[in-house]
Amino acid sequence: MSPFRLTRTLPEDATGAALRADVLAGLTRRPRSLPPKWFYDARGSELFDEITALPEYYPTRAEREILLARAGEIAAATGARTLVELGSGSSDKTRHLLDELDRLHTYVPVDVSESALAAAGSALAAERPGLHVHALVADFTSEVALPDTPGPRLVAFLGGTVGNLLPAERAAFLTSVRALLEPGDALLLGTDLVKDPAVLLAAYDDAAGVTAAFNRNVLRVLDRELGADFDAEAFGHVAVWDAEREWIEMRLRSHGARTVKIPALDLAVDFADGEELRTEVSAKFRPEGVAAELAAAGLERTHWWTDREDRFALSLSVAR
């Protein structure tokens, strides 16, 4: 088995403290909102895996198509000896890159879920003799201190997750990634592209109702972790295309007026009939916009690949 290490940089209660802070901030302002990272408890992760297999949900298939077709080019362009993956989860898609990065010495998966990192990292270490796997329990939206590994480094942020960040958050995130890079290092970024709103809305409001269940599950997370008394089934799933901002919003709409108590925060939240709680923003991008945002963070886009239907893109950028 290859060497496997797991380092925790988050304090033991960091996740609970962040949840309490996010819920308090998001539910005491209007419009009410929650960050999408709280979708992903064990049940939420299962539901998202189901979503990625739905006929309406194209991003995962489109990104995999690009990775399979272009992994060799990515390897040749970067010569990476260390691959850092932010928000790595199960590391499934990363295997396409690992197959082609023939100079790779170390893989550094970064995620807030210690259990996911332990499972994926130990499996990869067992599968790939000679590959060092150093998993990092960290929040990629905060400052990340990477282990000392050989360069060049390739930092991968896949899945279009960058679109879940609001514009100011994206700018701060890309600047923080730039700070991780030395000359010769690169960023591989997945971005979902602007397209027919009907296609986008179907991807976030599937006929089988899996996305609706995924969306409502965040209320069950709050019930379990904070002792809240949300009735998840009393909230309807809503997906909206904002043409001006070019993003999808997922919301939960209260069916009827209700007061929700959250004992862990000593908080009571009044919802009016029809009031909506925003649970996710998923920005869609244009090529020139991606290049501009990267440039503003000190990154120069050198490669741009899309799937055959131009639905999704991977871009490769280097530090300027």
Tell me the C-alpha distance between 274 and 249, whole Å: 16
Continuous H helices in 193-318: 197-203, 210-226, 287-296
**pLDDT at residue number 9:** 83
According to the model, what pLDDT value does residue 1 have? Answer: 63
Query: What are the φ and ψ backbone dihedral angles of 298, each rounded to 5 degrees?
Result: 90, 25
Give CA–CA dist 88/279, Å, rounded.
21
Domain 1-140+148-320 annotated CATH 3.40.50.150? yes
Dihedral angle, C-alpha 160, 162, 163, 164, nearest 10 °: 110
Integer CA distances (angstroms), 23 to 17, 44, 48, 87, 155, in order: 10, 18, 22, 21, 30
What per-residue confidence (pLDDT) applies to 143?
Answer: 79
Q: Using one digit for the tens of pLDDT, what is the confidence trace for 15-31? A: 889 999 999 999 999 99
Domain map of the chain by residue range?
1-140+148-320
Two tokens, residue 25: 């901030």
Report the predicted TM-score, pTM, of the whole model to 2 decimal places. Answer: 0.94
Ranges in the chain, pLDDT < 50 = none
Q: What is the pLDDT of residue 262?
A: 98
